[in-house]
Structure 1
Amino acid sequence: MASQLVLSLDGVCVVRDGKQILGPISFRIAAGERWVILGPNGAGKSTLLGVLAARIFPSKGQALLLDQQVGRVDLSELRTRIGLASPSLEAMVESNEVVRDVVLTAAYAIIGRWNENYDLWDESRAVALLTTFGVRELGDRKFSTLSSGEKKRVLISRALMADPELLLLDEPAAGLDVGGREDLLRRFTQFSNDPTAPASVLVTHHIEEIPVGTTHAILLKDGKIAVSGPVASVITSEHVSAVFGLPIEVKHESDRFFARA
């Protein structure tokens, strides 16, 4: 039996100020798959993620997300089915927002707690997710007082609050030291091993940040897909060197990837 399709892009392009900055892009993601998107700065990674998050409309082509066509569906409903953690979302959180509420308000797909009522299940799920990513003890702290790594863990917890069918992570390990990066990747891998975990797409430009268990990869260059497919066939010395424009040796050890020029 074929896996359920989570998303499908066919000939998707994004045009800004008369210039095509992305596309044409075509690929599909099925339930249970875990993708990584890599490429140099300016390759179009964040723009592509914006399309997958239903935050950016394609200028051309068709984007089907969770059986809904972007541009012909209620986006407020669609976005509740997609979990997103990104630097732009982090910037939208008020400095005095309490960590627990940063996660909890995702149940209503809003940022900032007002007069909503949350039941015990919502409260329990928020605490459980903070526990999964190692920041439960920070629940009563103000978001602005957290370190960069702590903020990223809280935002991943928030992205999962509404039990999404698709999880999108934009450079979740950026700015972390080695210890923080490895702990975050380990926790994400453990969570993703759950059979009920959603399909996921992680964007990065560091090969070392590819989590164990990643199934597929896309290498972007100049707004187009240079290579895509099963991760081990994509993340190779030959492909990575071509995309980043310099000789890079890629090693694959213990289900992790490492690179050096």
Structure 2
Amino acid sequence: MIDLHLIGVGTGNPDHLTRQAAVAMNAADLILLPRKGDAASDLIDLRRTLCATALTRSVRIVEFDLPVRAATGDYLAAVGDWHDAIAAAWATQIARHLPDGGRLALLVWGDPSLYDSTLRIADRLRTGGMAMRVHVVPGITSLQALTAAHAIPLNALGAPVVITTGRRLREGGWPIAADNVAVMLDGDCAFTTLPPAEIAIWWGAYLGMTHEALIAGPLADVAARIVAQRAALRARHGWIMDTYLLQRAGVAA
């Protein structure tokens, strides 16, 4: 039996680790750390730093190469194939390093419940016949880090919030009946496709990290600056994690 612990670790800042996360990491028999290639080497370094900060006992840490998602073809089909490949990579590491079962920990950016597919990948292993119990340790999400950094509430007064992706925003425009729209996983600055009049934006990248970047203001005034800074930061670091909140003008905060 594999006891899989999916541990939300926030945005990479060791101060975002909860006590529950540190306890789960120290109780593990094995921690798997995925490598995403040289361009994103900072990401594996962040995970190594988290382990060095939180671990107070010797825990086996194994790094493995994360499969790459196809950039062409149908999006959902490509994601499904990618998840299959990741599940197969996990299964290989489990067979090699925990053949008799044990406690396996994976460090998940933010929280495993919010725009993360680690739980879905784990389900592939269970439905494939692997004896596995899944445990989730919640973490600080990028949305929490964003609103904290800008010192703003996520929702307008008494109003709902829509959480969506850059792809959906680009394809469908502003969600119907939404006052506040939180956008994640936007690699193409989908906010530039919206009519900018009377929309405010709060944007943040590398939230909680030493190179955190924040821009806020009327979309018409700051959109071009966000696009330029985002491109410069990605070129400098080889990767970027960013998110933003949009709000229509005139909505009570």
Decide: shared fold, TM above 0.5. no
- The structure that is helix-richer by fraction is 2
TM-score range, shorter chain: under 0.3
The TM-score with structure 2 as length reference comes to 0.27
